[in-house]
Amino acid sequence: MNESGRSYIIGAARFDAESLAPGLYVVATPIGNLGDITVRALATLAAAETVLCEDTRTSGKLMERFAIKTKLSPYHEHNAQKVRPAILERLQQGAAIALISDAGMPLVSDPGYRLVKEAVELGLPVTACPGPSAVLTGLALSGLPTDRFLFAGFVPQKQGERKRLFAEFEKLKATLIFFESPHRIVETLQDLGLALPGRQIAVTRELTKLHEEVLRGSAHEIAETLAARPAVKGEITLIVGPPLEDEAISDEVLAEAIAVAIQVMSASKAASEIAKRFNLNRSDIYQRILTMKGQDGA
């Protein structure tokens, strides 16, 4: 064993962790399956002076699994401003400190950004130990274009804010990636169907875990599938395909947009919404809606 006594275990084998050069180490941790941790990440966590984490209970399970004894220190949105100066001071004194989040790559929807920013401004070394990411895992499984994409964080809770956010991306020719709560995913898909009609969607749930699931199709189709379930559980990464090429709107896309609209608004309002979005005649859309409702027995 090395002089510091720092080590980690993989299976039945124990490995000594080599000492780290001073600096801040941004370390990715598994998003579900603990087997996704990298050897470099384990060695870094074992050799660090301390590991900054969002929740010591969550991170403690990871550390226990690989028999890592490094001290865990809370660093989250509620205490970051208070404890950050002391962390930066220790880094300036030559400490090697690791930063992790509850899952995935730190700085993606967690408070690590400002710590890294201030460390860089002070000229302190910052090293990344890459690994699991729900953003890239969901994108890879979605079947949607990967050549150009935008991660937009968590979908706003309020419907008005959601609609404004989606409207910002209407013309952006890129695949969009969001995080969303299972309790709001159906409502969000309904709003997506209205705001960004015709897009292909993938809802990826419980990535890398036992009940991993990927639902692909239109916003309307996936919303119907999830709405029929007693409950939707698990962490969700939502992927939205890029807009259609500029061409005449297809009858299939128009029918999809109408079907989504009439689920959440009156026929009159739906006709106005669809006509405005596709630059079509409102009266024609209204008559089509009445016909659809008549066929459905509404």
The answer to which of 90-104, 145-159, 188-202, 242-256 has the lowest mean pLDDT is: 242-256
Which band of pLDDT confidence, cut at 50, 70 and 90, is reported for residue 4? low
Q: Is the pLDDT reported for residue 215 higher than 80?
A: yes
Segment 39-58, tens digit of pLDDT: 999 999 999 999 999 999 99
229 three-class SS: coil
pLDDT digits 0-9 by tens, 227-253: 999 999 999 999 999 987 654 577 877
CA distance 29 to 133: 8
* pLDDT classification of 161: cutoffs 50, 70, 90: very high
CATH numeric code, 135-240: 3.30.950.10
64-68, 157-161, 195-199, 202-206: segment of lowest average pLDDT: 195-199
pLDDT at 62: 97
DSSP per-residue letters across 95-146 = -EEEE--SSBSTTSSSTHHHHHHHHHHTT--EEEE----HHHHHHHHH-S--
Structural domain boundaries in the chain: 7-132, 135-240, 251-295
The mean predicted confidence, pLDDT, of the chain is: 92
In CATH terms, 7-132 corresponds, of 3.20.19.10, 2.30.42.10, 3.40.1010.10, 3.40.190.80, to: 3.40.1010.10
